[in-house]
Chains A and B, each alone.
Chain A
Amino acid sequence: MTLNQWLLDTKSFFVQAASGAAKSAAKSASNAAAPSATEGNQHPVAGSVRFENLGKTYRSSAGLVNALSDIDLSIPAGKIFGIIGRSGAGKSSLLRTINRLENPTSGRVWVDGQDVAAFDDDGLVALRRRVGMIFQHFNLLSAKTVFENVALPLRVAGVKPADIDKRVFELLDLVGLRDKHATYPGRLSGGQKQRVGIARALVHSPQILLCDEATSALDPETTQSILALLRDINRQLGLTVILITHEMGVIRDVCDEVVVLEGGRIAESGPVWQVFGEPQHAATRALLRPLEHELPDDLVSQLEQQEPPVLSGFQRVIELTYTGQGTIEPDLDRIAAALGSRVRLLYGGIDRIQGHTHGRLLIATGGTGPAAQTLVAQQLSHYARELGYVRHHA
């Protein structure tokens, strides 16, 4: 079943559910049905989150700990928004204030303009049915089958068994686990467990999906397949995905925007290509380091900082950096022309993030003159600097 079909089924499901089921199910049904008046690839307008001057203080044996302070942040509807930081940076606490699994000490959280703190018990349950959540350790009930796990949110909402059946199989089709419906979670692989978690989180057609380190317990290949699934869900359903991770690779692969947390405060935020291209904060640079191409040892050992007495047989090594800003690209032909010399590509890598060219190249070239300045002046790279000299056996 394609996602588009699923979207259509979703609508009919909620029309049915609203007639017989609980009040809250009816509430989210009207929310889900409202934007579908328009044809085609319609996106629900709902699903935005805003943090206003948010703070969270814990009492621990060591005294008061500020887990979060001065968080002001808007998460637009329909985006994949990443929250990254080292462990203990406050990511989990921040995410959990959205569905009030944790209460902030100060400040407010707004979901679609509604103050989350103002909800009573019924309001809170209704909110949590609009906000799905998946977890690092999946948190599936071991005593229930895959089917029962996905069905549980509907059962507790008072949806009719026949409707539950239909809906659960739709979601199991979506995550590709229909044939596992009678299996207990203990017999599934990590990736399959997370797929069940995703199906369970989507069963109420939420407008927001919270992902708490959803891929951190998975191997790289499974991580990619889960991220691809999240991306599909976001594109096809217009669902806001808010994910926290400590892996920059995850942010690079799926996120539109990112906020970097450090010590419970926002270090920086913005579109992913921008934060990656020109990280402003030390914390961001530290998180990016695993993705950067460190200089290989053999290059480092060959590199001579001092200008050699006889230049023949040596080449200058220049590092070119691309931040993704504007249209500057590594045009090799023009670089060679600007330097007036042949250019050897020693090392480096170019990424494309959200259509922006980003990366670093190391070139070796002959000639003299202010090569770095020339390259930047001619808009052939954003930053350039000379690293030293290497012997060249021409």
Chain B
Amino acid sequence: MSDIMLERIWEALLDTLAMVGASAGIALLAGVPLAVFLVLTAPGGVLEAPRFNKVAGSLVNAFRATPFIVLLVALIPLTRLITGTTIGIWAAVVPLSISATPFFARIAEVSLREVAPGLIEAAQAMGCRRWHIVWHVLLPEALPGIVGGFTITVVSMIGASAMAGAVGAGGLGDLAIRYGYQRFDTTVMAAVIVVLIALVSLVQAAGDFWVRRLRLR
């Protein structure tokens, strides 16, 4: 493999990291509040609002039901509105984060729901207001699960980012398809796969390590 190829792979890796990093950041910032909203407004929650809960839940399901490659195309008008372009890394960040947010929100919701009701009751009994309960009880107690869920989200985003080549976003997946599939360059494809495996393993290991540290307390 030539130096140029190595450079291509390196650049593609940076593209993937940028796309996934930015999208994961947005998914985290949007997904946690969405998960909290779903838990609080659920029947029996501390801010019970069944109708809002239904609407939010249906919206989340709608986005999760749409395959990413379809979402990528369907969201093109929105992408153009936000980023001013429909090609490149930043154009891919829009559909990537919009697809990852509901996914992550559902996982985080499960962790939040598993916080023992007794803890919420105890917080109420000591004079906590609702936002205290969210901040001091729900989020810290669910943190290991949220971190674990975020790890899963990031890994699946690395996979989804391969499809972002369809909008000319670049990245490792795009490189593998262009060289490996369209040019029958198996070496490049194999190299990309190795890099992807290493990347996913690294993300997963980091997430596991963090969860283990949180659980050790």
- Identify the A interface with B (CB < 8 A): 24, 99, 101, 121, 125-126, 128-129, 131-133, 135, 137, 139-144, 152-153, 155-157, 184, 186, 200-201, 204, 210
* Cβ–Cβ contact B140 & A144, under 8 A: yes
B126 to chain A, nearest CB (A): 4
B131 to chain A, nearest CB (A): 9
**Top 10 closest pairs, chain A to chain B, by CB:** A139-B122, A143-B140, A153-B126, A133-B125, A184-B217, A128-B127, A139-B118, A129-B127, A156-B132, A125-B127
* Cβ–Cβ contact A142 & B125, under 8 A: no
Interface presence of B121 (CB below 8 A): yes
Q: Which residues of A contact B128 (CB under 8 A)?
A: 152-153, 156
Interface presence of B141 (CB below 8 A): yes
Interface presence of B162 (CB below 8 A): no
In the complex, what distance in Å separates the CA atom of A78 from the CA atom of B131? 34
Q: Which residues of B contact A126 (CB under 8 A)?
A: 127
In the complex, what distance in Å separates the CA atom of A101 from the CA atom of B162? 51
* Cβ–Cβ contact B217 & A143, under 8 A: yes
Least CB separation from A100: chain B residue: B124
Q: Which residues of B contact A141 (CB under 8 A)?
A: 119, 136-137, 140-141
* Cβ–Cβ contact A139 & B129, under 8 A: no
* Cβ–Cβ contact A200 & B141, under 8 A: no
Q: Which residues of A contact B119 (CB under 8 A)?
A: 139, 141
* Cβ–Cβ contact B127 & A153, under 8 A: yes
Interface presence of B194 (CB below 8 A): no
In the complex, what distance in Å separates the CA atom of A351 from the CA atom of B39? 52
In the complex, what distance in Å separates the CA atom of A82 from the CA atom of B121? 21
B152 to chain A, nearest CB (A): 21
Interface presence of B143 (CB below 8 A): yes
* Cβ–Cβ contact B126 & A24, under 8 A: no
If the complex has contacts A141-B136, A143-B141, are A125 and B129 also in contact, measured as CB distance less than 8 A?
Answer: yes
- Interface digits, B146-184 against A, CB 8 Å rule (1 contact, 0 not)? 000000000000000000000000000000000000000
Q: Which residues of A contact B73 (CB under 8 A)?
A: none
* Cβ–Cβ contact B136 & A156, under 8 A: yes
B55 to chain A, nearest CB (A): 25
If the complex has contacts A141-B141, A143-B143, are A152 and B121 also in contact, measured as CB distance less than 8 A?
Answer: no
- Interface digits, B185-215 against A, CB 8 Å rule (1 contact, 0 not)? 0000000000000000000000000000010
Q: Looking at chain B's contact residues, is the secondary structure mostly helix, strand, loop, or mixed?
A: helix
Tally of contact residues, B, Cβ under 8 A: 20
A213 to chain B, nearest CB (A): 12
Q: Which residues of B contact A155 (CB under 8 A)?
A: 136
In the complex, what distance in Å separates the CA atom of A156 from the CA atom of B136? 9
* Cβ–Cβ contact B129 & A156, under 8 A: yes
In the complex, what distance in Å separates the CA atom of A128 from the CA atom of B125? 6
Q: Which residues of B contact A201 (CB under 8 A)?
A: 126
Q: Which residues of B contact A131 (CB under 8 A)?
A: 125
- A139, A184, A200, A204: the one within 8 Å of B121 (CB): A139
In the complex, what distance in Å separates the CA atom of A183 from the CA atom of B4? 55
B42 to chain A, nearest CB (A): 18
Interface presence of B116 (CB below 8 A): yes
- B116, B127, B129, B140: the one within 8 Å of A204 (CB): B127
Query: What are 25 A-B interface contacts by the 8 Å CB criterion?
Result: A24-B127, A101-B121, A101-B125, A121-B129, A125-B127, A125-B129, A126-B127, A128-B127, A131-B125, A132-B125, A135-B118, A135-B122, A137-B116, A139-B119, A139-B122, A140-B122, A141-B119, A142-B217, A143-B217, A152-B128, A152-B136, A156-B126, A156-B136, A157-B127, A204-B126
Q: Which residues of A contact B214 (CB under 8 A)?
A: 143
Q: Which residues of B contact A210 (CB under 8 A)?
A: 125
- B122, B129, B140, B217: the one within 8 Å of A133 (CB): B122
B128 to chain A, nearest CB (A): 5
Least CB separation from A197: chain B residue: B122
In the complex, what distance in Å separates the CA atom of A210 from the CA atom of B126? 11
Q: Which residues of B contact A142 (CB under 8 A)?
A: 141, 217
Q: Which residues of A contact B125 (CB under 8 A)?
A: 99, 101, 128, 131-133, 210
Q: Which residues of A contact B140 (CB under 8 A)?
A: 141, 143-144
Least CB separation from A125: chain B residue: B127
Q: Which residues of B contact A135 (CB under 8 A)?
A: 118, 121-122
* Cβ–Cβ contact B121 & A156, under 8 A: no
Q: Which residues of A contact B124 (CB under 8 A)?
A: 101, 128
B121 to chain A, nearest CB (A): 6
Q: Tell me which of A125, A131, A140, A204 has the highest count of chain B C-beta atoms within 10 A of its own C-beta.
A: A125
In the complex, what distance in Å separates the CA atom of A24 from the CA atom of B125? 15
A201 to chain B, nearest CB (A): 8
If the complex has contacts A142-B141, A156-B132, are A200 and B118 also in contact, measured as CB distance less than 8 A?
Answer: no
A172 to chain B, nearest CB (A): 16
B141 to chain A, nearest CB (A): 6
Q: Which residues of B contact A157 (CB under 8 A)?
A: 127
In the complex, what distance in Å separates the CA atom of A204 from the CA atom of B217? 27
* Cβ–Cβ contact A137 & B118, under 8 A: yes
Q: Tell me which of A135, A141, A200 has the highest count of chain B C-beta atoms within 10 A of its own C-beta.
A: A141
